[in-house]
Amino acid sequence: MKLRRTMLYLPGNNPNMLLRGWLFGSDGLILDLEDAVSIHEKDSARILVSRILKEGEFGDCEVTVRINGVDTEYWEKDLEAIVPCGIDGIRIPKVEGPETVKAVDEALTRIEKAAGVTVGRTKICCLLETARGIWNAYEVAASSPRVDSICPGGEDLTADLRTQRSDDGVELEGPRRRVILAARAAGIDAFDTVFPRINDDEGLVREATFIKQLGFDGKSVIHPRQIPIIHSVFMPTEKEITKARRIVEAAKEAAARGLGAVSVDGRMVDAPVVKRAQFTLTRAGLSEEVQ
Amino acid sequence: MARNSVGRELPGQIAGYGPVLPFNGHKARIPEGNCAGGRLKAAFNDRTDKTVKDIREAIKASGLKSGMTVSFHHHLRNGDYVVNQVIDACAEMGIRDLTIFPTALFGVHKALIPHIKSGVIRRIMGSVNGPIGQLASEGGLEVPVVLRSHGGRPRAVISGDVRIDVAFIAAPSADRYGNLSGRIGRSACGSLGYAVTDADYANCVVAVTDNLLSFPMTPVSINQTKVDFVVAVDSIGDPAGIVSGTTQVTRDPMRLLIARHAAALIESSPYFKEGVSFQTGAGGISLAVAAYVRETMKARGVKGSFGLGGITSFFVDMLNEGLFERLMDVQSFDLVAVKSIAENPNHVEISADWYANPWNAGAVVNMLDAVVLGATEVDRNFNANVNTEADGALLHGIGGHQDTAAGAKLTIITTPLLRGRIPCVVDDVYTVTTPGEVVDAIVTEFGVAINPLRQDLIDAAKEAGNVPLVAIDELVERAHRMSGPMEPVATKDRIIGVVEWRDGTVIDVVRQLDK
């Protein structure tokens, strides 16, 4: 029941940020070897990121790496350098169908075996940055047990849709709904794309509120100042917390009395509802009440 | 050799400085006797216009001779033309062996280097930044530079440690009978606070202005009873270097993180309540701390009493929003502050003596609740160095660092753990500027170390729950791990700089670099 509200991108060529990124309090980190790194720095960034993965600190953050696309000459070198370090997962850019996942999955298995890393440990988040990718969202989401999340693109996707990003994000509404549906159908998480206007706090609150309501688990983040803003949007309300507490307490009581069914205010409550209530308390920073 | 209370070995006497009084605690030295004073003067109604033709004429009239001490203020900062103009004129007139006693020097004053090399300037008492600092560090001055804080400097003047022969006061406005103001004129700089004690105690006072007005001019910062001569020049400075437009809060995420920790510490302290007062510098982190505290003041409905120090547009906004009742301004940092001090009676001009001198009946720093300061490095004992860089070269003045640290109830030093690959939290600072006994907390991006002397603050921070506390030793060790070992600075024995504590005792010395 790990929180995944914010996944902060850290440029793979910036040692300052790579060493300190965990201090900003995001739920996860994405060490970026793709867009943040120019073609001339691909090798040095890969070396830097793998050294920092071995020797750096990441606090409680989930640690992932965005590798270069499978249409480049870098992606396998990226995997060979980072997977042996024992990371939580990778992000694959511009996934359009299950065949891409399959190729990466095979490479991951080969590298994990060779490095003595538990096979399957390295999870995959697929970035769906084209219309084709969005269209195939479910097939991608269900293509491998490694795929634990999918995420729509922002700039690239709107370009592919032959439009541009607007303030209210109307052009991404359809893709977002399709992604959340596909993720839930496949039983995995869904992250939203980054909010590019780093000084527009109101716009960020609007967008985060919208994607939270759609059901997204969290958002990719390009600037640390966005983290507390998104966390506050994902913070459950007092009413939600009170309700969740009653459900969790009822479940504990039922378990203590050896009862299979949970009842709150005389109504039966299903296991997924209990799980959801536990998750609400975790999001509210009350995970000790879940234990 | 004597050992002072921060563990520095000091000789009994330093050539070119004199006998050394070792620092022995921040309140240990209590003065006796009376204040020193300038020369008695008389003026009658046969001289009603104090203007003289040019700077040379003023130098002549002032009686300035080789070997004397001349003082300057730094309100025009890096835009200042006056120091260079005066020393150029002295050189042309064959005057040599001067002691210059500026409140600070800036990069623009690198034009003094030829005058140091040719012997026009023999000695500098005041901060030496940039190229002059480098020159001094390499042994380019015959006698050691003496560094004093903003409060220590007026103390030295008033006590007679330093006697000023001629004070040259750059004045953005002056009338013909010697009333001076920094508030108006095209070179306006706001407060003239650093120049006030010089005007009170110098044997002769020369005002240099580029806005000569008829008598009587108002408002007045330094009045006619102190001023002997007035010189009008084409320009006293470059407005672009005197003040910036407004001062911006940093957007650097690392600095913002440090600022957020510092703000949380202030807000957790017993001082964050109705009537709170604070001072922050104009640096990126300091200003961001003020920004966070401002939001919390608004959110919790806390109204402060006063903001102190170098005043920025940011503090002016807080005054105008009712978050402060007064601003006490020794130095106005930007155009907004200059405008405010000219227009708002609650924005008060104060002298450096009033601001920070430990040897008067009470400076404003004593009324300060919290101050946020920077440093080039800090150490396990909470000592702070603001004077020398990692390579051992003199680079910065003390400013109000010692004074506010000693005065404030909560002294916070913010610093990144490393700058580039140079650690800023170390075993032992290269130069002690401010002793750990007056530093309450060190705030880095990796957490907040509170001085164990302040268990009350530690308890309050724990209670608040949002201050990431960490032991100072842990910060030092983490910095070690990240940077690897550092080569010690190689120096010769010769002392090229003396760092005085605000009471005139010696807290540390700086030695010549061995290059």
CATH number of the domain within which A15 lies: 3.20.20.60
Q: How many whole angstroms separate alpha carbon A235 and alpha carbon A285?
A: 9
ipTM of the complex: 0.82
Interface test with A, best of B248, B249, B255, B257 (most A CBs within 10 A): B257
The 10 Å Cβ neighbour count of residue B498 is 23
Interface test with A, best of B250, B252, B260 (most A CBs within 10 A): B260
Task: Let me know if residue A1 belongs to a domain.
Answer: no
Q: How many whole angstroms separate alpha carbon A235 and alpha carbon B127?
A: 51
Q: What is the mean pLDDT of residues B107-133?
A: 92
Assign residue B290 a region (left: φ > 0; alpha: ψ between -120 and 50; beta: otherwise): alpha
Say what percent of chain A tops pLDDT 90.
Answer: 77
Asked whether residue B173 carries a pLDDT value surpassing 80, the answer given is yes
| Residue pLDDT, tens place only, A94-146 | 999 999 999 999 999 999 999 999 999 999 999 999 999 999 999 999 999 99
Q: How many whole angstroms separate alpha carbon B480 and alpha carbon B417?
A: 10
Interface of A with B (CB under 8 A): 16-17, 19-20, 23-24, 223-225
Structure tokens at A248: 């969790």
Q: What is the mean pLDDT of residues B272-280?
A: 96
A258 in the same domain as A167: no
Q: How far is CA B190 from CA A185, B178, B323, in A?
A: 67, 18, 22
Asked whether residue B390 carries a pLDDT value surpassing 90, the answer given is no
Which of A234, A253, A276 corresponds to the end of one domain?
Answer: A234
Residues of chain A neighbouring B256 (CB-CB closer than 8 A): 224-225
The pLDDT of residue B136 is 93
| Residue pLDDT, tens place only, B392-401 | 999 889 999 9
| Amino acid letter, residue B221 | S
**Domain extent listing, chain B:** 47-80+162-242, 253-488
| Residue pLDDT, tens place only, B345-358 | 999 999 999 999 99
Domain B253-488 has CATH 3.40.50.300: no
In contact, B323 and B304? CB cutoff 8 Å:
yes
Residues of chain A neighbouring B254 (CB-CB closer than 8 A): 16, 20
Residues of chain A neighbouring B251 (CB-CB closer than 8 A): 225
A267 in the same domain as A150: no
Selection from B270, B350, B347 nearest residue B313 by Cα: B347
Distance from the Cα of B300 to chain A's closest Cα (Å) equals: 18
Cβ contact (<8 Å) for B256 and A16? Answer: no
Of A19, A23, A24, the CB nearest to B482: A19
B residues 424-483 near A, CB within 8 Å? 445-446, 482
The pLDDT of residue B249 is 83
Fold of B47-80+162-242: Glutaconate Coenzyme A-transferase (3.40.1080)
Model confidence band, residue B247 (pLDDT cutoffs 50, 70, 90): confident
| Residue pLDDT, tens place only, B428-484 | 999 999 999 999 999 999 999 999 999 999 999 999 999 999 999 999 999 999 998
CATH fold match for the domains B47-80+162-242 and B253-488 = yes
Asked whether residue B503 carries a pLDDT value surpassing 70, the answer given is yes
The pLDDT of residue A1 is 65
Q: What is the CA radius of gyration of chain A?
A: 20
In contact, B88 and B109? CB cutoff 8 Å:
no
Cβ contact (<8 Å) for B256 and A224? Answer: yes
Exposure on the CB side of residue B193, measured as CA atoms within 13 A:
29
Sign (positive or negative) of CA dihedral A92, A96, A100, A101: positive
A252 in the same domain as A200: no
Cβ contact (<8 Å) for A20 and B482? Answer: no
- Total domains in the fold of chain A: 2
Task: Let me know if residue A162 belongs to a domain.
Answer: yes
**Angle of helix B253-268 relative to helix B455-464, nearest 10 degrees?**
110
| Residue pLDDT, tens place only, B123-149 | 999 988 778 999 999 999 999 999 999
Task: Let me know if residue A93 belongs to a domain.
Answer: yes
| Residue pLDDT, tens place only, B196-209 | 999 999 999 999 99
Selection from A102, A100, A99, A78 nearest residue A90 by Cα: A78
Residues of chain B neighbouring A223 (CB-CB closer than 8 A): 253
Asked whether residue A266 carries a pLDDT value surpassing 80, the answer given is no
Model confidence band, residue B239 (pLDDT cutoffs 50, 70, 90): confident
Angle at B7 between CA B2 and CA B12, to 5 degrees: 20
The pLDDT of residue B415 is 96
Sign (positive or negative) of CA dihedral B346, B351, B352, B358: negative
Of B251, B257, B482, the CB nearest to A23: B257
Say what percent of chain B tops pLDDT 70.
Answer: 100
Range of the domain at A197: 6-234
The pLDDT of residue A267 is 80
| Residue pLDDT, tens place only, A201-254 | 999 999 999 999 999 999 999 999 999 999 999 999 988 899 999 998 888 888
φ/ψ of A282, rounded to 5, equals -60, -45
Mean pLDDT of all residues in chain B? 95
Comparing alpha-carbon positions, the chain B residue that sits nearest to A225 is B253
Q: How many whole angstroms separate alpha carbon A288 and alpha carbon B497?
A: 58
| Amino acid letter, residue B183 | R
